[in-house]
Amino acid sequence: MFLKGKRALVTGSTSGIGLAVARALHAEGAEIVLNGFGDAEEVAALQAKLGDATWSDADLTDVSAIEAMMAKAGGIDILVNNAGMQHVSPVADFPPAKWDAIIALNLSAAFHTARLAIPHMKAAGWGRIINTASAHSLVASPFKSAYVAAKHGIAGLTKTLALELAQDGITVNAISPGYVWTPLVENQIPDTMAARNLSRDEVINDVLLAKQPTKSFVQPEDIGELAVFLCRDAARNVNGANWSIDGGWTAE
C-alpha cells in the first residue's frame, strides 16, 4: 500500500486500460478520481469498488470542462492521461471534426491536465505523470492519421515535461501499448474491415495481431502493473521514457 495518501486522477478510467490502471493504483492504496463516460449506475458500482472513488464525466475535448474537473479534484499526486479515441479512415475522407476531436482528446487534454496538476506536485515535491501513448507514438499505420499524429505528439510532450520537472521530484513517462483487447480496439474493427476490404477474422489476425510478434493481445492489467512500477521510488530515475509494451511490435 505504498500509495496510501496519494490521490490519482486517471482520465478515461470508466473502461479498458484506464480502469485497469485505476484498479492497480487503488490496490496500492491510492485515492482514485475516475473520469470518462458511462452509465451512472455502472460507474457508481465502479466507484464503490474503488474505495468510494470520485468521478468526473468531464468531456476532455472541452478545455473549460477540464479546468472545472481539475479544480474540483483538488491536488493530484499521480496524473494518468489515458482517455483516447480512434478513427480509421483514409486522409482524403477523414472528417475534419474527427481530426480536431482526436487531437483535443489524445494530445491537448494531457497538456491541460498537466499544466493544472503541476503546481500541487511541485509544492509536494513529488509527482508522477504517466501518459498512455501507443505503439503509434513510435510508428505509423495507414488510415489512422489523427491518432498517429496525436500519439507522436504526446511522446514529445512527455519528454518536454520530463525535462522541465526533472528536479522537482516529478517523473513523466509514457506507456506505449500495442494492441490491448478493449472496446477501443473492438470498435475499430468494422471501419478497418471497410477501409481494407477484409473480414472480421482477417482484421484481427492479419492486421491487428500481425503487428505483434507474440501473437497475443496485451492485457489491460499488464499496463496497470507498469503504471504502479512507475510510481515506485525505484522508478525515480525513469524519466522521459516511452515504455513499449507491445509484444515486440516496435522492435522490428
CA dihedral 147, 151, 152, 153 (to 10 degrees): 100
Cα–Cα distance for residue pair 195/213, rounded to 1 Å: 24
Select from 6, 8, 12, 161 the one that contacts ligand NAD (CB under 6 A).
12
Binding mask of the shown chain, residues 208 to 237, with x at each position contacting ligand NAD by CB under 6 A? ------------------------------
Look-up of cell digits 473502461: 15
Query: How many residues touch ligand NAD (CB under 6 A)?
Result: 28
Pick from 171, 170, 135, 167: nearest CA to 154 = 135
Q: Contact 82/23 with Cβ under 8 angstroms? A: no
| Cα 201 to Cα 206: distance, rounded to the nearest angstrom | 8
Among this protein's residues, is 179 annotated catalytic? no
Q: What are phi and psi of 32, to 5 degrees?
A: -110, 135
Catalytic residue among 55, 99, 143, 147: 147
Q: In what order do the strands lie in the sheet with 242-245?
A: 54-56, 31-35, 7-10, 78-81, 127-132, 170-177, 242-245
**CB-based burial of residue 75 (10 Å sphere; 0-12 exposed, 13-18 middle, 19+ buried)?**
middle
Among 55, 179, 243, 249, interactor with ligand NAD by CB under 6 A: 179
The residue within the footprint of ligand NAD, chosen from 3, 80, 129, 134 (CB under 6 A), is 134
| Interface pattern 85-104 for ligand NAD (x via CB under 6 A) | x-------------------
Beta bridge partners of 173: 130
Q: Judged by CB under 6 A, which stretch of 39-47, 67-75, 180-188, 236-244 contacts ligand NAD?
A: 180-188
Interface with ligand NAD includes 192 (CB under 6 A)? no
182 scored as a contact of ligand NAD (CB under 6 A):
yes
Residue 247 touching ligand NAD (CB under 6 A): no
What residues from 31 to 70 belong to the interface with ligand NAD (CB under 6 A)? 35-37, 59-61
**What residue ranges bind ligand NAD (CB under 6 A)?**
12-18, 35-37, 59-61, 82-85, 105-106, 132, 134, 177, 179-180, 182-185
**Known catalytic residues?**
147
